[in-house]
Structure 1
Amino acid sequence: MSSKVAVVTGSNKGIGFAIVRGLCNRYEGVVYLTSRDVEKGEKAVADLKKEGLSPKYHQLDITDIKSVEIFSSYIKASYGGIDILVNNAAITFIENAMESVAVQAEKTLFVNYFSTLSTCEQLFPLLRDGARVVNVSSSSALLKYIPSENLRQRFLDPSLTIPELSNLMREYVDAAKMGTHVGEWGISPYVVSKIGINALTKIQQRLLNDQDIKVNSVHPGFVDTDMTTQKGHQTINECAQAPLYLALDAPDSVKGKFVWSNMWIVAWEA
């Protein structure tokens, strides 16, 4: 029950896999690699064990509340809490995807924002004193990519609540379904979803300011993975460095921030 615990969502491949690798190499605690697909997750664990590392595995599908509840109950019963949580699981559609913008918007926001939020709601009660949360974001998660000044100001409201932010995300999905989104929201569901993650990070930290818990978001870099259709120029290990910095090395003063791949704090509202 006393072991320190690190959890990385969506970590059977890509940056999440490299974050698990980095934690296994450096973290003095139990590291959980999680994935939606059990077979893929167990293979990823086996691959890391070939490197002499010792991650543990548990199935976790952030889009399935029952899966999240089972995982939460398991961690609570087995360890009593969580010390590092890396919210990495996310999706994006390829550039020339055949799905309509309406479908892309609904699915992208459901996974990247709403499912991350529901996972946090289940796992945050398990965060122990000194815990660190890393929400994986993107270089595209800057408010300048939202054309509407009114929308930008709503995101920047210092008293913005999670229900209000969720309503903003629903407004975007509704606009995409009506085909009226471009003028105010821009063209990318992924951008909106990650702006939502940056805004959520700010709110989460504000709500936890009276506790010794740090919540930050991070642009890990432009990685050569399936998500970027191999257009990225960095390796997964390179892109794991900034998330690992926030999980392990950042000063306690770094909280509620958006950190770039070079470990610089960025003004996401710029």
Structure 2
Amino acid sequence: MSAASSSSSVILVTGANKGIGFALVSALLERDDRAKVVMACRSAARGKQALEELPEAYQARIFMLEMDVASPSSVSQAHKVLAESSDYTPLTGIINNAGVGFGKSVEETCATNFWGTKRVCETFMPLLVDGGRVVNIASASGPNYLSRCGDETRIQQLTDKNVTLDTIEQVYAEGLPSDQLGDAYGFSKSLVNAYTRYLSNKTKTKPQDNIIVNSCTPGYILTDMTRGMGATNDPEKGVKAPMHLLFTEQDSIGRGWYYGSDCARSPLDEYREPGSKPYEDEEGC
């Protein structure tokens, strides 16, 4: 059994004071009475308020960490604070949940959704144990964006099994055509999926080659981000796929894959309906 699936898990969750992040904190602590959570929140005040909404028994196993993933200095300072805590390090898992939604510019959206995810991975992965897990929260908006973008070169670049960081950053720099600016959110999540694959490939060549990196969509969940947009599923329903990627045996979940909300592998460039046949690439896996 891997370290990430043991009963003494220590999981860092970003964007943890509300929505899916808050539901994940509760689910992790409920799953095992020895589990610990690093509850990373952009606002310390809102984080403290959220903490007080949890049972006292849960509060005793939470490390509150102020961190704005869009700010390099904030992430650096948060790492310094956490690294000094022997009770909450090493980590067994990282869930990159922090994100912003629709209606923002490409730069503002990617600052949190893509660059923030990348920044947290680069900064906190050295704190992971052998066998640790990284789960990047993506969205069906990523595959939906690629399926309709009409740019075959971009599709190939962001679905390449051997995608490089240079390519991902090049695609970001190219941005979106003016008539596609409403796709900033989906664009940012397609970058997250590509980065997940890149990072997974990179860990295979490092001493920490037992770290498992995957991404998933939590589903269409009612949060502040989706309020008024037809979402009806409670945040508690959004924890299924992330928890699956954290605790399922290593041989069963692959590396660098993107999963649907039903915990089945999904393609990067088209939407797969939950409950339908899992995606298989050209190698049949």
Could you state the TM-score of these two structures normalised by the residue count of structure 1? 0.86
Q: Counterparts of 2:82 and 2:251 in 1: how far apart (Å)?
A: 25
Q: Counterparts of 2:240 and 2:112 in 1: how far apart (Å)?
A: 24
Which residues of structure 1 form unaligned runs of 5+? Answer: 95-102
RMSD of the TM alignment (CA)? 1.9
Amino acid at match of 1:191: G
Amino acid at match of 1:6: I
Partner SS, residue 200 of structure 1: helix
Contact kept? 2:72, 2:119, Cα under 8 Å: yes
Q: Counterparts of 1:77 and 1:145 in 2: how far apart (Å)?
A: 46
Partner SS, residue 198 of structure 1: helix
Tell me the CA shift for residue 115 of structure 1: 1.8
Partner of 1:123: 124
Identity %: 29
Contact kept? 1:145, 1:191, Cα under 8 Å: no
Q: Does 1:19 align with 2:20?
A: no
Alignment equivalent of 1:82, drawn from 66, 88, 91: 91
Partner SS, residue 7 of structure 1: strand
- 84-93 vs 52-61, which moves further: 52-61
The number of aligned residues is 251
Which residues of structure 2 form unaligned runs of 5+? Answer: 1-7, 271-285
Q: Counterparts of 1:76 and 1:115 in 2: how far apart (Å)?
A: 19
Q: Counterparts of 1:237 and 1:166 in 2: how far apart (Å)?
A: 34
Amino acid at match of 1:249: T
Partner SS, residue 31 of structure 1: strand
Q: Counterparts of 1:25 and 1:225 in 2: how far apart (Å)?
A: 21
Partner of 2:3: none
Matching of residues 75-224 of structure 1 within 5 Å: 75-79=82-86, 80-94=89-103, 104-142=105-143, 143-172=146-175, 175-176=176-177, 179=178, 182=180, 187-210=182-205, 211-224=209-222
Amino acid at match of 1:37: S
Tell me the CA shift for residue 250 of structure 1: 4.9
The Cα offsets for residues 19-50 of structure 1, whole Å up to 9 and x where unpaired, read as: 11101112433211111111110011111135
Amino acid at match of 2:169: S
Amino acid at match of 2:128: L
Contact kept? 2:142, 2:269, Cα under 8 Å: no
Tell me the CA shift for residue 252 of structure 1: 3.6
Q: Does 1:242 align with 2:241?
A: yes
Amino acid at match of 2:108: K
- 237-246 vs 72-81, which moves further: 72-81
Amino acid at match of 2:66: Q
Query: As a proportion of its length, which structure holds more helix?
Result: 1
Amino acid at match of 1:198: N
The Cα offsets for residues 33-79 of structure 1, whole Å up to 9 and x where unpaired, read as: 111111110011111135x4232211111011122112212222213
Amino acid at match of 1:60: M
Could you state the TM-score of these two structures normalised by the residue count of structure 2? 0.82
